[in-house]
């Protein structure tokens, strides 16, 4: 797969809600094909403490305009510094990295479950599912309504269901408490999930119980991002695998989760 490593100009950067950041970058060259689930490594040069690149899922791409966008949850020194960048400044980016979600027209109806930064890959996933005539339902969870982002964009690709822990939007509780799991309309033939690991494990268990194929995108801590340092490995039934190379997308059947 062709990879880009280049300085990109920031053409848009905004904080839609406290702790959340959207960035749009302009590529200096034609962009390689990006598949849903691929990620990029951003060099946050302004933060000497965050000298290692930080991995982020690719939110969206516009090949004609040469734009690539990211959604970032501000959690630490690197992401805090990223929020201080301004339009017109440059960010060095390597992408596309990692594998991608499997999308097949053999699936009729799929469920996509996410929370936190896990939603970042769901637009490209939705586009790909739509192109393959697969019906998608999104189930998005957060602590409160301020954490529920991108719903208008996701609605272009499928129905959007919401849960919040405080009940300020959608059904109250965790995503796995949603009534869709209890109703007769639970008729999905594939589940995709990305978000906090306990959430992904709980979703994976539901899929396992219903014998539904399930793919998760892991967000293990990374250093090099291209297979050398081995700091991102996860245990699978085929031995330890690197999340940055063999992942980040894994079928739950291959993980040592159940
Ligand atoms: C393949 C992949 C895709 C990702 N996609 C996105 C995305 O699209 N949007 C997004 O906001 N985040 C994403 N992440 C997580 C993101 O990389 C981290 O939140 C970021 O690196 C934290 O950098 P920092 O310098 O701000 O945090 P640090 O100061 O390094 O750490 C602050 C806190 O964040 C935790 N942390 C650091 N790295 C990670 C990590 N990889 N996963 C979970 N917690 C972490 C640390 O344990 C610590 O508690 C992704 C991670 C991976 C591996
Ligand atoms: S981050 Fe270095 S091997 Fe995966």
Q: Are 148 and 92 in a shared domain? A: no
By the 8 A CB rule, do 194 and 119 touch?
yes
Ligand nearest to the CA of 219: 1
Q: State the distance from the centre of ligand 2 to the C-alpha of 245, rounded, in angstroms.
A: 8
Q: State the distance from the centre of ligand 1 to the C-alpha of 74, rounded, in angstroms.
A: 9
Q: Are 160 and 226 in a shared domain? A: yes
Judge whether 73 lies within some domain: yes
Final residue belonging to a domain, choices 36, 68, 97: 97
When divided into structural domains, the chain yields a total of: 2
What's the pLDDT score for residue 61? 98
Q: State the distance from the centre of ligand 1 to the C-alpha of 219, rounded, in angstroms.
A: 7
Domain CATH number, residue 240:
3.40.50.80
> How would you write the pLDDT of the chain (258 residues) with one tens digit per residue?
789 999 999 999 999 888 999 999 999 999 999 999 999 999 999 877 778 899 999 999 999 999 999 999 999 999 999 999 999 999 999 999 999 999 999 999 999 999 988 999 999 999 999 999 999 999 999 999 999 999 999 999 999 999 999 999 999 999 999 999 887 667 899 999 999 999 999 999 999 999 999 999 999 999 988 899 999 999 999 999 999 999 999 999 999 888
What's the pLDDT score for residue 185? 65
Ligand 1: residue of 19, 25, 42, 56 to mutate (most ligand atoms within 8 A of CB) is 56
Q: Give the atom of ligand 1 at the shortest distance from the alpha carbon of 75.
A: 26
Q: Are 178 and 212 in a shared domain? A: yes
Query: Which residue is it, tokens 């280049």?
Result: 6
Q: What is the C-alpha radius of gyration for the chain, rounded to an integer number of angstroms?
A: 18
Give the residue among 37, 39, 18 at the shortest CA–CA distance from 143. Answer: 18
**Domain range for 82:** 4-97
This prediction's pTM: 0.95
Q: Are 12 and 93 in a shared domain? A: yes
Q: Are 87 and 135 in a shared domain? A: no
Q: Are 69 and 117 in a shared domain? A: no
| 177 DSSP assignment | G
Q: Are 216 and 125 in a shared domain? A: yes
């Amino acid at each position: 797969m062709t990879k880009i490593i280049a300085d990109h100009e920031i053409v848009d950067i905004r904080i839609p809600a406290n702790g959340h950041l959207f960035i749009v970058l302009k590529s200096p060259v034609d962009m390689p094909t990006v598949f849903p689930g691929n990620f990029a490594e951003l060099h946050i040069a302004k933060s000497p403490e965050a000298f290692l690149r930080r991995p982020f899922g690719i939110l969206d791409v516009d090949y004609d305009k040469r734009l690539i966008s990211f959604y970032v949850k501000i959690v630490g020194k690197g992401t805090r510094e990223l929020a201080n960048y301004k339009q017109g400044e440059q960010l060095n980016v390597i992408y596309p990295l990692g594998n991608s979600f499997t999308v097949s027209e053999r699936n009729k109806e799929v469920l996509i479950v996410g929370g936190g930064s896990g939603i970042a890959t769901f637009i490209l996933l939705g586009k790909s599912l739509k192109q393959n005539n697969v019906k998608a339902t999104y189930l998005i969870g957060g602590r409160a309504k301020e954490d529920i982002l991108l719903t208008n964009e996701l609605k272009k690709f499928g129905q959007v269901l919401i849960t919040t822990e405080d009940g300020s939007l959608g059904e109250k509780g965790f995503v796995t408490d949603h009534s869709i799991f209890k109703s007769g309309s639970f008729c999905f033939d594939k589940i995709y999930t990305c978000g906090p690991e306990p959430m992904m494990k709980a979703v994976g268990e539901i899929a396992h119980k219903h014998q539904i194929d399930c793919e998760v995108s892991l967000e293990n801590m990374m250093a090099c991002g291209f297979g050398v340092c081995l700091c991102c490995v996860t245990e699978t039934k085929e031995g330890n695998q690197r999340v940055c190379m063999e992942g980040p997308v894994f079928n739950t059947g291959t993980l040592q989760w159940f």
